Amino acid sequence: MTNKMTMASVYLSSTQKELIRDSWSHLETDMTNIGTLVFLRIFNKNPELKALFPFRNSFGDELVSHPLFRSHAYRYASSFISYDSVTYLRFSHLFTIQSLI
């Protein structure tokens, strides 16, 4: 067995879609912090990506309090509960989701 991860296509069940929709209501209360955690992880795993943003020279507390960073983190996290995301889940039986196994 190799250490390489393989890709597999997985369909979402009706129950899984409902769980996702239900979880979005909890996300709405903390969009900025959720987006912040996502971007901090992205920048930790791929530091070169931070150079693409206007807050590229900010680090630590300065980064997480930077108005442009916080605004971007909020918009990013908010996109998960947009109308389009909910619509996509309704039609996800037509698509597959790639997940790492």
Its domain, for residue 81, covers 7-100
Classify 89 as helix, strand or coil: helix
Residue 75 tokens read as 């918009």
Q: Is pLDDT of 11 > 80?
A: no
Query: Contact at 8 Å (CB) between 99 and 6?
Result: no
Determine the pLDDT at residue 98: 46
Q: How far apart are CA 97 and CA 12, in angstroms?
A: 8
Q: Is pLDDT of 78 > 80?
A: yes
- CATH number of domain containing 36: 1.10.490.10
pTM for the structure as a whole: 0.61
Lowest model confidence (mean pLDDT) among 1-10, 64-73, 91-100? 1-10
Is 2 part of any domain? no
Determine the pLDDT at residue 90: 57
Q: Could you give the dihedral angle defined by the CA atoms of residues 57, 63, 65 and 69, in that order, rounded to the nearest 10 degrees?
A: 80
Confidence of residue 4 (pLDDT cuts 50, 70, 90): very low
Q: Number of folded domains in the chain? A: 1
State the average pLDDT over residues 82-94. 55
Is 35 part of any domain? yes
